[in-house]
């Protein structure tokens, strides 16, 4: 399987599961010095946009 198809499959699975995560869980930090799941996802989206030149 090509890497692009693997990535699309992973993203499809993540999009199905994302609504199952509560906002509190998505925004909470296990440690004040670490990023929340929401911050990590936002960073990944931002880096992708920047690297693709959108």
The arithmetic mean of pLDDT across residues 36-41, rounded, is 93
Q: Provide the whole-model pTM.
A: 0.66
User: Is residue 1 scored above 80 in pLDDT?
Assistant: no
pLDDT for position 34: 96
- Within the chain, residue ranges assigned H as helices are 3-17, 23-27, 37-52
> What is the domain count for the chain?
1
CB-based contacts of 3: which residues, under 8 Å, 6+ apart? Answer: none
**DSSP letter string over 4-19?**
HHHHHHHHHHHHHHGG
Q: Give the pLDDT band of residue 24 (cuts 50, 70, 90).
A: very high
Q: Which domain holds residue 26?
A: 3-52
């Amino acid at each position: 399987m090509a890497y692009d198809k693997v990535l699309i499959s992973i993203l499809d699975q993540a999009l199905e599961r994302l609504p199952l995560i509560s906002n509190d869980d998505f925004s909470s930090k296990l440690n004040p010095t670490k990023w929340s799941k929401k911050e990590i996802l936002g960073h990944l989206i931002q880096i992708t946009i920047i690297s693709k030149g959108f």
